[in-house]
Amino acid sequence: MLGLTGCASIVGDSNQTLSIASTPSQADISIIDEKGKNVFEGKTPTTVTLDKSDGSYWGGKDYTLSIEKAGYAPKSFSLHSSPNGWYIAGNLVFGGLIGWFIVDPFSGAMYTLSPDQIDATLGESVSELNDGSGSQLNVVLLEDVPTDLRSQMQYLGQI
């Protein structure tokens, strides 16, 4: 019987519980999967159980988690699935090819979602200047600017 199972499937699970907290607490949480489906909504602090696989062959799940609270800058996190140690080393020692190529890729037990814990500190609300002309100036900390938008920033000089 053990020869027909994969190591990750023996010791692992097809879903994973993540703990989510924020400062300040009672922030709104939204989790969307890689297909754009909203899989969870709630408030911090909480724990949520997410599937690690979409049920297809080699179908690891990925999620985007958003945390928002009025008066604070929102935060987003990516949750990615990747093969865990039981899948890699366990099948090398115990499970063999059946575990590697058949059982574990279908079950989802071969994956681990990371990070497995989120503790977000929401920064103070962004400062806004709106002079009624349709132009808007937002002031945020550099660490709060997404890396893909940093190339569009312009230096305005020292104050």
Domain boundaries, the chain: 2-123
Classify 2-123 by CATH class: mainly beta
Strand partners, 111: 83
Integer angstrom CA distances of residue 137 from 123, 127, 128, 130, 155: 18, 8, 6, 7, 14
Q: Is 68 helix (H, G, I), strand (E, B) or coil?
A: strand
Distance CA 60, CA 15 (A): 11
pTM: 0.62
Residue 11's identity, in one-letter code, is V
Using one digit for the tens of pLDDT, what is the confidence trace for 86-137? 555 555 555 555 555 566 666 667 788 889 899 999 876 655 555 666 665 6
Q: Determine contact, residues 25/119, Cβ cutoff 8 Å.
A: no
Using one digit for the tens of pLDDT, what is the confidence trace for 33-46? 999 999 999 999 99
Q: Write the CB contacts of 41 (distance below 8 Å, at least 6 apart in sequence).
A: 28, 29, 30, 31
Using one digit for the tens of pLDDT, what is the confidence trace for 5-32? 433 444 456 789 999 999 889 999 999 9
Work out the end-to-end distance of the chain between its first and last CA atoms, rounded to an integer number of angstroms: 71
Q: Determine contact, residues 46/20, Cβ cutoff 8 Å.
A: yes
